[in-house]
Every structure is written in structure tokens, then in C-alpha cells.
Structure 1
């Protein structure tokens, strides 16, 4: 789905691989004998369908079940590490929105304030408010590309081929990303529609820096990572490597079918910035979402603002201020966010009270050329559908508890 694609370039990351290794660990009371059979089946479907590796962590109260399948690196037998780090893509937005709301709580900015008043260098429509950029109601063009009624309108990154690989290998400055978006017509007048745009969160990151005088990454560390002890969570900037144990992700930009040339694990993601650059782990994401939903990062009135949500045009899901709400089973709605960058697709979801959470990380493989856009879109849709099944089974079906 659109939220999972950080941009059109992420379509080329949804490619096929093979793998069979698996591992799991469970911490559960002896009187609860379920083994998350539906979740296991869905994980196996992802690997059989082309994922290089899959990692799932489910928490129900104090009980945790973690399982992985596939391989950490194509061509090697090592399983996906249960404590592995991965690129979380647009789940970064939930971190950024939390920091902005903390600044609102401190009286440094208001949700109804004009963003142009703080970032005058861009010549933004003065009607665009802080709330609008956090909720994707600004109307600003998505710098990573748009899916419109007439097809794809390309973004700042080429979709496939050597040009795409060259683009994702270079560094981008946030001003360049915003400037590209503003060179395109707005989707609608501010506040008169809803359209997911990574441009909004590049602006949110710049707003944090303007208000605090420090890089937005420093605010993420000092306000969230350090207080919660998220020692597997990083804001990489220009650093290419994923520190610590991790699985590899692939996107065959060159169409060679060679896993080594398709390995995008260490490609920089400066083009994602505050819209999607963070690296984390399943355990850290669980801690973060739980703390957020339990009022430990925001006072109740501002968490209520964050939860106040708008429906998508299709009405199939709703979006708050950096929070995605979605019906994942009849009568059961999850809250969290999804994310994707080339090679990695991630889901963070929980029940509204934070009692149950589930984290899913899928790494794509190297054998489908991204030149085949139709196949990439089909794979992305299949991954999205199966992830929703995993979330529904983990959060909503009481027969699948550990």
C-alpha cells in the first residue's frame, strides 16, 4: 500500500529471493499452548513467495514470541537474527511527529501555526499548518513520486536502471527534496484533502531543527532513544552501514540477477531523511510504540491530538498525526505505522491500549528485475496483504496467543 512505499523507488525493492532457515523463541506461561500457527503460516508464505527473510515479534502483555524465517544473506545459510536491526522506513514519521508534539507541549510551536512562519526560505503557502504536515493534509507534492489517475508522476529518484542506483548512492540535502516538491503543483488547497507525502515530514524535521537549533536526529536521541533505552535504534544520516546483527535487503537495479550487485543493505538513505531513514529493531519498536500509547512520551491531551485521525480517500484506513489506523480483522483496528525503503518492508502495530504489539520486518531478494514494474507492484501488494494477515492474527485472534 502507499504508506509502505516510501516512494516509487521502493517498488524496485520488492523482488524475489529464496531461503529456508528459520528460528524462533517464545516466553510464555505454560498454560497458554497456542503457537501463533496463523502467523507462522503467513511468514512461510512470504518466504515461499520471494522474501529473502522475515522477522516477526509479537507481544501480549508481558509475553513475547519472536520468529524468523528465510536467510540473513542470500547465498549463506545464516538465519535472520531475532535481535537484528533493519531499516524502518516511514515508521520514522511516528518518531518525528512525537518530537514535534513534545515541542508543542513546551509551547515552542502550535499545531495551528503556519509552517511558513518558521521556514520562510521555501515560500510555502501560509495556510499550511503544523497539523497539516503531520497529518498529510497540506496538499504538497510527494518528492518521491505520486500515483495519480493518469499513472505515475516520477519523483526525485529514477525508478530503475543505473540512473536509479546512482541516485540512491548520492547524498541529498533536505532543502533539495523540498525544493523539488515545490516545483510541482500542489495536489489540493491546504486542508481540503488527504494525500500521503514524504515532503511533509522533511519539513517536520526542518521545523524541529529551527525550533531547537539542533539537528532533528539529536532531538530523536535525547527525547526518545536515550530515555527509553532504545540501544538498537539509530538515525544514520550519511552512514551507510547497519550496525550490529542484521539481515540483507536486495533491489536488482542493474537487472543482473547477481545477489552481490543487488545488495542494497549499505546504500545511504539521505533521500529519506526525517521521512524514513531510521534503523531499529523489533524489540525497540515495541518499546517505543508501547511507551507512546501509554502516555509516557506525550501528555494525554497531546496524545489525543495525535490520535485524532482523517480517513483516506478510499475510507479503508485512517491517519492521525504520524499514526496509521487500520482495520486488520472484523471489528479489530490496529494503530502504528508501516514503512519501506529499497530492500526493507516494515510494520509496527498495536492495540489502542498498547497491551498487544506486533512488529514485522521483511527483506526482499535479488532475482526479479525492477524493470518489471508490474511484477514489483504485484509483489508489493501481496506482501502488504500478508502483513495485514499477520497483524490481524497477532492482535485480534485470541486463539493465536502463546
Structure 2
């Protein structure tokens, strides 16, 4: 049978991202039983240690798909109602009229209207999304800070609302997913991280995926270089960082192989029931953290190209690291890519991110990986 993976083209596209300025990246692409894994560049810019395709990596908001799947499992067993107000479960965290108006579904698909807490937790980001008026100082200051999720939620809930509950477009906010973590804890009697580990990660048979116990990444991994739009020059390693600032919203560590396995099983109806998967794939317009409007479901979003089949998955960033995992709707074609530099774009005089060769090279890699 002809191999549907163009390995030389995948190798070349990966190398091009490295040549465009990415210190290191690695990926896995699958098509049926055919698998390609590749890596380009370095895991450490000082020693020159190379990246390898089996490295563990902070996957950022890809975590949201795991958390959403856990919530849907609890919906299936009747402990959570998707359209039940969050105030019924967590009245102390979302009190009063807002608690009555914001449903669980609105948290999962980012239409709650609750603000992002990050600019309040990180003082130097206070002006976000006006990037030119932000600074990277508090990223450094809080490397080893142990944040309390309830305190972070309080910052988002008491901040000015970014929309009416249920209104569209929604606005992407980590506050929503910290609340879902507290909801899982309330209805299961366990922590969200423990429940997700037992019922999502272990159910999928993922051997190299988990929530970090401390600020370190266990096992072989790359350093993670944060540039904060050119304000950190040279970019600084943030691979040692306490992830309590995002918890069940973005703290997972995984591998590109595990991510492809997870999304393949999810889209095959093996993590949540097919009826729950259908709910996850019901999308609404949501304004992303980059300011673009995307279609967003329940912890999943589609990737469409003209004349091509639809892929489903999630992207994620942390300080210094980025990930994109996408699986075709039929589950056969899959891509997971991990990179070890973030916010590489400089800002123009108006404070908007400028185009960078990495952007174009990554887009080309995604095209080859997804569509051949």
C-alpha cells in the first residue's frame, strides 16, 4: 500500500521552521497505520543538545480538551447538567444573578462573559491586550509562586465582564476552566487533576501525560524560551515554572504521540459517548486571546481549509512553549507539533505583533502535515 505520508516534505517543512528562527520543534503525523516523527533544532541553545520527537512538553491549553471531556463524563452520569447554572454548584464562587445566569456549557465554550484573570495575577500584564504597555517582569517574579485557584477565579469574577452570559461572540478566558476544575472537585470529591488522571488520561492509555507535581518537567524535555514580543532578548528559559497559574486550564505535560492517541480515541467515542462528542463539536464564535474570532465547541475547535476535510483539536501556549494537536473528523489523519519558543513576533509602532518568518513556516508545516 502506498505510504500517504510524504516524509521528505515533512522533514523539509520541519527544518524550515527551525531555519526561520524556532530554536527547536518536534512533531508526529499519522495516517492510518503510517507514522512519521521528526525533530529539528535544539532543546538547549547553550549546550546545543538536540530536540527529539519523544520529549515531554508543556502543552498549555490542549489541557482544556481533557478537562472538558471529564466534565462531559460527569454529565453522562448525571452529576453535572450542561445547562444548569454554575451557581447551583459553586454559589460561593459565582454568586447572585451571574451564578444563576452562567451555565456549565457557557464555561466550557467561553460564552460566560467572565474576564480573564491573568492580567490581574501578573501585574506587568495589567494593560493586556495592549501589548506595548505590558512587560515580562512578573513572569520572572512568579516562576515559583503557588497560586490559589479560588483566588484566581475571584480575580476573573470580580473583573469587569467581557460579555453577557450566553452572548456571542464569546471571549476566551482561563477563568472558565479554573471554575470547571472546582466544579469537578465538588461533584467527584476528588481534585480535578486526580479525576482527569484516572478517568481521561488513564482511560486513553497515555503513559507520558500528567499534571506536574511541582515546577519541573520530569523526563526528557526541552527548555522553553519566552520572548514576550521582543521584550526578553535573548529569550529566557521558563521550563522551570510552577503551573498553578493555570491548573486544569493549561498545566498538562504530554508528548506528541500521547496527544495523537488521545484525540484519536476522543473522536472515536472512546473517552466520552458519541452523544457527548456531538455536544463538544457544537461550535459558537469566540474571540481568542490573539484577538481573532474562532469557532469553538466544548473544549474542541475545528480547523477547516477550502475544499479540505475538517480537523478537530486544540492549541496551547505556556511561557516559552507551544503545541497544536489536530485530528481529522474520521480519526485517520493526525498531527501534533510542539515548539520551544513563544511570542517571537516583535511589535510595530502601534503595538501590534509584526509578521515573522516562523509564522509562515509553521503554517506550511501544518499544511503538509494535515493535507499532504
TM bin (shorter chain): 0.7 to 0.9
Q: Please state how far the C-alpha of 1:123 moved relative to its aligned partner.
A: 3.3
Q: Please state how far the C-alpha of 1:154 moved relative to its aligned partner.
A: 3.4
The residue correspondences of 1:201-350 to structure 2 (distance < 5 A) are: 201-237=177-213, 239-251=214-226, 257=233, 262-312=236-286, 317-328=294-305, 330-350=307-327
Q: TM-score, normalised by structure 2?
A: 0.87
What's the CA shift string for 1:199-246, capped at 9, x where partnerless?
A: 110111111001111110111111022222211111015x11111111
| Counterpart in the other structure of 1:391 | 366
Aligned partners of 1:209, 1:65: CA distance in 2, in Å?
38
Higher relative contact order (CA 8 A, sep 6+): 1
Bigger shift: 218-227 or 90-99? 218-227
Instruction: Find the residue that maps to 2:280 and give its secondary structure.
Output: helix
| Counterpart in the other structure of 1:358 | 335
Q: Please state how far the C-alpha of 1:382 moved relative to its aligned partner.
A: 5.6
Q: Please state how far the C-alpha of 1:143 moved relative to its aligned partner.
A: 1.3
Aligned partners of 2:134, 2:127: CA distance in 1, in Å?
11
Q: Please state how far the C-alpha of 1:300 moved relative to its aligned partner.
A: 1.1
Q: Please state how far the C-alpha of 1:68 moved relative to its aligned partner.
A: 0.4
Q: Please state how far the C-alpha of 1:298 moved relative to its aligned partner.
A: 1.0
Structure 1 residues 211 and 33: CA distance shift in structure 2, 3 A: closer
Q: Does the 8 Å CA contact 1:347/1:387 hold for their aligned counterparts? A: no
What's the CA shift string for 1:51-82, capped at 9, x where partnerless?
A: 11010100001111000000111122332122
Structure 1 residues 329 and 391: CA distance shift in structure 2, 3 A: farther
Structure 1 residues 256 and 102: CA distance shift in structure 2, 3 A: closer
Q: Does the 8 Å CA contact 1:57/1:64 hold for their aligned counterparts? A: yes
| Counterpart in the other structure of 1:12 | none
The residue correspondences of 1:117-156 to structure 2 (distance < 5 A) are: 117-124=88-95, 125=98, 126-145=100-119, 153-154=127-128
Q: TM-score, normalised by structure 1?
A: 0.81
Q: Does the 8 Å CA contact 2:21/2:357 hold for their aligned counterparts? A: no
1:54 aligned to which of 25, 34, 43: 25
Q: Does the 8 Å CA contact 1:317/1:326 hold for their aligned counterparts? A: no
Q: Does the 8 Å CA contact 2:322/2:342 hold for their aligned counterparts? A: no
How many residue pairs get aligned? The number is 357
- Indicate yes or no: 2:43 matched with 1:43: no
Q: Does the 8 Å CA contact 2:71/2:180 hold for their aligned counterparts? A: yes
TM-align CA RMSD: 3.0
- Indicate yes or no: 2:166 matched with 1:191: yes
The residue correspondences of 1:89-168 to structure 2 (distance < 5 A) are: 89-124=60-95, 125=98, 126-145=100-119, 153-154=127-128, 159-168=134-143
- Indicate yes or no: 2:145 matched with 1:170: yes
